[in-house]
């Protein structure tokens, strides 16, 4: 996933249904001698059934919690879409504009408190490691860097087949990937994680080798490819970005219909368009184990 130099200003056209990070605050500076507990937080976004096609799915949202021993204060940190999931997955087709218009950014949100009831009742709230105040402060610096340079949300993972060793053409960049990056950063700083099973949700598309199509200017600009531009617009036409989570999944199934009927998908990734020659099983939503990390310090015996 490409890193960018800065986060672009958001266009006023992009309106969120829910305010991003409404009670968010700056990450506090912890005292070096503090001992901070780190919690894994996970709860379902929305559990649903859809006939026999995909069965019962576990679509989970991930976050990380912290508790300071010195102050007794709890904190939650998560990463999610500025304008909700639909906007990160589908563009707007605006009148008078040739190119699809994307309202797509994701960012970290940090706030005081952990909503114990929410995470415990529906999912997971479990201690994974303990860190020092110094490590926490170093992690906070890394979060700032990660946030300023990794700016676009990416819903899809694209790979060649369901085989575990299969080629990954494109990797997703969403809430769970931020949590995994955070754990890895803490491990690199010296955190030792407990041996517990940790699972994450991925939405995977299956495709032959992707074909590079170009960027917005080369496809939709004055010298662009009118036929290709029309095909991309037509592909995105049925989807509505401003929507609830429920409506998002209705659109997800519209995509599956189109993808299976026509074996095609147009992917917008790092500001570029790609054509995916889709193949069976086309799309899977999986909930699989990703182990907690082992730090680079520990592995080299430092």
Instruction: Using the CB atoms, write b or e for 138-162: b if 16+ within 10 Å.
Output: bbbeebeebbeebbbbbbbbbbbee
Joined tokens for residue 22? 């409404």
**The length of the chain, given as a count of residues:** 302
Per-position pLDDT tens, the chain of length 302: 678 888 888 888 888 878 888 899 999 999 999 999 999 999 877 544 443 333 355 678 899 999 999 999 999 999 998 887 778 888 999 888 999 999 999 999 999 999 988 888 778 999 999 999 999 999 999 999 999 999 999 989 999 999 989 999 999 999 999 999 999 999 999 999 999 999 998 889 999 999 999 999 999 999 999 999 999 998 988 777 666 667 777 777 777 777 777 888 999 999 999 999 999 898 888 888 899 998 765 443 33
Joined tokens for residue 10? 């958001």
Query: Are residues 150 and 3 in contact, defined by beta-carbon separation less than 8 angstroms?
Result: yes
Query: What pTM was estimated for this model as a whole?
Result: 0.87
Query: Are residues 64 and 77 in contact, defined by beta-carbon separation less than 8 angstroms?
Result: yes
Please give the positions annotated as active site: 61, 175
Q: Rounded to whole angstroms, how far apart are CA atoms 40 and 290?
A: 13
- Evaluated on CA atoms 195, 73, 138, 83, the torsion sign reads positive
């Amino acid at each position: 996933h490409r890193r960018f130099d800065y986060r672009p200003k958001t266009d006023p056209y992009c309106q969120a249904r829910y305010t991003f990070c409404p009670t968010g605050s700056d990450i506090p500076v912890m005292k070096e001698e503090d001992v901070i507990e780190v919690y894994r937080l996970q709860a379902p976004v929305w559990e649903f059934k859809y006939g026999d096609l995909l069965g019962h799915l576990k679509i989970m949202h991930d976050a990380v919690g912290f508790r300071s021993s010195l102050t007794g204060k709890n904190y939650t940190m998560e990463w999610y879409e500025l304008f909700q999931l639909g906007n990160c997955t589908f563009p707007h087709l605006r009148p008078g504009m040739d190119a699809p218009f994307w309202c797509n950014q994701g960012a970290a949100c940090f706030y005081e408190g952990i909503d114990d009831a929410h995470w415990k009742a529906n999912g997971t709230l479990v201690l994974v490691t303990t860190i020092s105040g110094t490590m926490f402060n170093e992690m906070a610096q890394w979060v700032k860097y990660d946030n300023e340079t990794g700016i676009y949300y990416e819903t899809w993972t694209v790979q060649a087949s369901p085989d575990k060793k299969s080629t990954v053409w494109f990797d997703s960049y969403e809430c769970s990937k931020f949590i995994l990056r955070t754990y890895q950063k803490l491990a690199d700083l010296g955190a030792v994680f407990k041996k517990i099973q940790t699972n994450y949700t991925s939405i995977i598309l299956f495709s032959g080798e992707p074909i590079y199509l170009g960027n917005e200017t080369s496809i939709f600009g004055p010298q662009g490819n009118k036929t290709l531009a029309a095909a991309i617009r037509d592909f995105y036409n049925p989807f509505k970005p401003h929507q609830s989570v429920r409506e998002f999944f209705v659109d997800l199934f519209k995509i599956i219909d189109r993808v299976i009927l026509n074996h095609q998908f147009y992917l917008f990734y790092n500001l570029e368009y790609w054509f995916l020659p889709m193949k069976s099983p086309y799309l899977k939503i999986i909930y699989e184990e990703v182990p907690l990390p082992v730090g680079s310090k520990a592995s080299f015996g430092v």
